[in-house]
Structure 1
Amino acid sequence: MGFAGKVLGVFILTFIVYVVFSGSITAYDLITGAVVALVTSLITANLVVSNPSKLFQVKRFGWLLAYSIRYFFVDEVRAHLDVMRRILHPRMPINPGIVKIPYEVVSDYAMLTIANSITNTPGTVVVDVFPEEKAFYVHWINAVVTEPEKARESVSRIFEKFAKRIFD
């Protein structure tokens, strides 16, 4: 598929993002979006795409869609409710700590997805990443476990499952 496949993949994604954020589908906006997407994809295709054949696998897109729905409507809601409960509780039951969370994914995109998912979920934030150890160090508002594998199960296992299927 080569360079053309990389450009096409980045073009499609950039064009969709442009149209969604512009909020308009007039001819002017569609042409402007196509020009911006083409220039962007020509400049960045080799930087952001290492394997163009993965871009067009419907199965990966399905996993991305399932992950997005689960993340925004289950994991985020659950975490927000937990943090609100802790804030409003008279004794503010928190047990903050930094825990080591190992990961097994291979690609940088998968690692970034897990780290962003942890950080964007209320109550946890990735404070450091050690690719050579294949581990994140995470500040957790309620560090009930400190053993790395148990912390992984509580904090990031589901994110890693989806990231591996989408990107690796």
Structure 2
Amino acid sequence: MIKYLATGLVAFLIYIIFSGNITPYDLATGVIVSAICSLLLTPYIVRNESKLKQPARLAHLAYYFLKYITIIEFKAHMDVVKRIFTMDLKPGIVRIPLKCKGDMARLLVASSITNTPGTVVVDESDDYFYVNWIYVFSVSPEEARKSVSEEFEKYATKIFE
């Protein structure tokens, strides 16, 4: 039961944060949508219920979420805006090695890379992500990893592994 509540709560918070409103209509819609998402998706996304009961993991998740939607996103948006105005572009696809092994950790890293402006994961194969990057300053896999995914992997490991 706790896994359904946790999934529903996360879905509700994401809905409210991204809608940007807390009107009664939005709150009611958020409850309905998150309940449906929780019922349909929880069996597929929550495999180890005991991890949900660990406060340290939840604290890392909350910290990562807040840092991602404020600091990381802001920096990436400003970098893309600067590159658009200056036309300082050097696009390409880089091969980035993955250190995290769990499915959920890898999903968090891939989603974080893709949702960050200027990068998108286009493929995953043999413990590597192939990332289309707006400004490739190094084709070295380790240097690219440090710039693109290292911070995401650090939190994904703390949260899911």
The verdict on a shared fold, with TM-score over 0.5 as the criterion, is yes
Match of 1:103 in 2: 98
Is 1:94 paired with 2:89? yes
Match of 1:138 in 2: 131
Q: In the aligned structure 2, how far is the partner of 1:53 from the partner of 1:118? A: 28
Gaps of 5+ in 1: none
How far apart are 1:48 and its partner, in Å? 2.0
Structure 1 residues 116 and 7: CA distance shift in structure 2, 3 A: closer
Amino acid corresponding to residue 148 of structure 1 in structure 2: P
The two structures have a TM-score, normalised by structure 1, of: 0.78
Amino acid corresponding to residue 160 of structure 2 in structure 1: F
- Pick the structure with greater CA Rg: 1
How far apart are 1:152 and its partner, in Å? 0.1
Match of 2:159 in 1: 166
Q: In the aligned structure 2, how far is the partner of 1:10 from the partner of 1:72? A: 19
Identity of aligned residues (%): 42
The two structures have a TM-score, normalised by structure 2, of: 0.81
How far apart are 1:163 and its partner, in Å? 0.8
Alignment root-mean-square deviation, CA: 2.9
How far apart are 1:54 and its partner, in Å? 0.8
Name the SS of the counterpart of 2:136 in structure 1: coil
Deviations 1:107-166 (A, max 9, x none): 211111111111111111111112xx1111001111111111110001110011011111
Structure 1 residues 25 and 59: CA distance shift in structure 2, 3 A: farther
